[in-house]
Amino acid sequence: MAKQVDVAPAGPLALPATGIGHGWEPAALFLLCIALLSFGLVTLYSASSVLAQRGGLPDTYFVLRQSAGAAVGLVALGICAWLPYTTWRYVAWPMIAGTWVLLVLLILPWTESIAPEINGARRWIRLAGMNFQPSELAKVAVIVWTAALAVRKQRSFQSLRRGLGPFLVVWIAVIAPIALEPDLSTALLIGLLGATVVFAAGGRIAHFLFLGLLAVPVVWRQLTVSFRADRVAVFLDPSVDAAGSGFQVQQSLIAIGSGGITGVGFGEGRQKFGFLPEAHNDFIFAMIGEEWGLIGVTVTILLYAGVVLVGFRVARRATDLFGQLLAIGLTTWIGLQAALHMAVVLGLVPTTGLALPLISYGRSTLLVTLASIGILMSVARGGEVLPAPQGRVARA
């Protein structure tokens, strides 16, 4: 049998002693994060400048707000990278409980003063002039809580009631208010993330298949009512309502197609002049395709692929099961949400409204994503490779 070869550096490639982390994996995560964040701010300025000016605001309005969120997010990244990742195991229950309270506040009829309806949905809590989206925090809270409980439930996964049952109770409690906002795509994503963590911990695939079959009628009913039915119809045939429900997808495909190989040039895109709604948020990947072309699209995909590959390597080298599950959940979230956003822009899945991590406008998403990358860096620090005597490799 051929000997397995580890192509990673034999010794640690340490960052400066800043508390951010040690070893090449934290450094790689940090550099990939900065690259995506910087490219995102540049793209956001081009995508949002016209929208801001039409609202009587400076052309830098959105990018300056995003930059402020990035500054706070980088502080959160540093703190989360410095904290031992095991800390999250002990705050898992308070974290999930606090998140649930925030989610319930969104749907109560007497909380509209702090949770106003925006674009037909109540997804944001507004306090002191600032908006925060609790469903973004719910993604991380579910991953952390599920990872913490899965470590304790290792011997119970053979039983659906004692193994998967407790997870389902909490998942449904978190997902239900999100679905009522309404935000079905985020609710389904959170459920999938929780299931991924449990499956990685040893959950039986037969249990998930059984529960999936039970969920099909519920999900199907949600997809065949109201605006979701229109989105499904447009997905099946983009030309069915090109001037209505299919307008956004049609313009997105036009933007991608007009970019060609090298793009039309930074700031030269035409779709941001009112042709493509939410060009700075839900469809910002289309702006990348238009202005930066196939080259920009490829570089963006490679950057996300780098985050995913390094994240899963961190999971493989984690020193304990909790760190492994935490890294798997957070990496899956960033990679899956990025993939779904791109798929929506390309018309490969129905419109979901999911942001492109680190690039789309949205300070809640940005803050939580940067904090999550910090947690990944902390897991990597916990699994740092140290030189061992007699030519062996030991883990910290």
Q: Does the pLDDT value for residue 21 go beyond 50?
A: no
Q: Say what the pLDDT of residue 230 is.
A: 66
Q: What is the mean pLDDT of residues 58-82?
A: 94
Reduce the secondary structure of the chain to three states and give it as a string.
CCCCCCCCCCCCCCCCCCCCCCCHHHHHHHHHHHHHHHHHHHHHHHHHHHHHHHCCCCCCHHHHHHHHHHHHHHHHHHHHHHCCCCHHHHCHHHHHHHHHHHHHHHHCCCCCCCCCCECCECCCEEECCEEECHHHHHHHHHHHHHHHHHHHCHHHCCCHHHHHHHHHHHHHHHHHHHHCCCCHHHHHHHHHHHHHHHHHHCCCHHHHHHHHHHHHHHHHHHHCCHHHHHHHHHHHCCCCCCCCCCHHHHHHHHHHHHHCCCCCCCCCCCCCCCCCCCCCCCCHHHHHHHHHHHHHHHHHHHHHHHHHHHHHHHHHCCCCHHHHHHHHHHHHHHHHHHHHHHHHHCCCCCCCCCCCCCCCCCHHHHHHHHHHHHHHHHHHHHCCEEECHHHCEEEC
Half-sphere exposure of 151 (CA within 13 A, CB side): 17
* pLDDT average, residue stretch 286-314: 95
Give residue-wise pLDDT tens across range 322-369: 999 999 999 999 999 999 999 998 888 887 778 999 999 999 999 999
pLDDT band at 382 (very low <50, low <70, confident <90, very high): confident
User: What residue segments make up the domains of the chain, in order of their start?
Assistant: 24-395
Q: What is the pLDDT of residue 352?
A: 78
Instruction: Quickly state the pLDDT bin for 296 (edges 50, 70, 90).
Output: very high
Q: What is the pLDDT of residue 391?
A: 36
Please check the confidence at residue 238 and state whether its pLDDT lies above 50. yes
| pLDDT tens track for 99-132 | 999 999 998 888 888 888 887 788 888 876 778 8
pLDDT tens, position by position, 207-223: 778 877 877 777 777 66
pLDDT in tens, 347-359: 888 877 789 999 9
Q: How far apart are CA 124 and CA 132, in angstroms?
A: 5
pLDDT digits (tens, 9 = 90+) for 255-291: 898 888 999 988 888 888 878 888 888 889 999 999 9
Q: Are 70 and 367 in contact (CB under 8 A)?
A: no
pLDDT at 233: 67
Q: How much is the pTM?
A: 0.87
386 beta partners: 394
Q: How far apart are CA 243 and CA 187, in angstroms?
A: 29
Cα torsion 182, 184, 190, 195: sign: positive
Distance CA 294, CA 298 (A): 6
Tokens, residue 219: 């999900």
Residue 320 has pLDDT above 50, yes or no: yes
The pLDDT tens digits for 130-141 are: 788 999 999 999
